[in-house]
Amino acid sequence: MKFRSLIKWISRIISGVLVVLLISVALIVLTTKLSGGEPEVFGYQIKTVLSGSMEPGIKTGSIIAVQSVTNDEKNQFSKGDVITFLEENSTLITHRITEVNETNGGVFYTTKGDNNNAEDRNPVLAENIVGLYSGFTIPLVGYAANFLQSPNGIILFLIVPGFLMLSYSIFNIWRVLSRVEKEIKPGRAEESG
């Protein structure tokens, strides 16, 4: 009796985990599509750090939370703020502001990676700022996140949980059908006798 009860609990836990996993995948895909390709939760975008320019504070392979900013906020950063901005070649970079310069054309920022010897060559125009680093970082998770954004990762992340859920459903259907069949067989034997 205890064994059956244990099996039921394990079955419920597996079902719950698979359902949560599939719902999580659906939410990630939905928020990514709604935000134009960048997952955003409560006004924060999740970014993957693939270089060591901000070490030791932000390690290579980390994920960080970057607070989205409005156009008005882009002109209000100060020296020491860590911003994420779009470089000329459409690459996102997260570096610290070392100098704020105001001209008639607007505000631009001089930036530098904490681990770099020199400031960045090109000043950052306010309009190219994507967000402000919130200080939230999780080391090493960025490697997995980067893989999951690749075609192979997407296939693995979507197909494997779906296959597990389908397999588990088939197993449960088979188990219920065999139980029903066992209950029906003794009844038929009594009728024929």
Residue 51 falls in the annotated catalytic set: yes
Phi, psi for residue 145 in degrees, rounded to 5: -65, -40
Q: What's the Rg (C-alpha) of the chain? A: 26
- DSSP label at residue 116: -
Instruction: Identify whether the C-beta of residue 81 lies closer than 8 Å to the C-beta of residue 132.
Output: yes
- Catalytic-labelled residue, pool 11, 15, 24, 51: 51
Helix intervals (H) in 35-150: 141-148
Amino acid at 16: G
Strands 40-41 and 106-112 come out as: unpaired
- Name the residues annotated as catalytic: 51
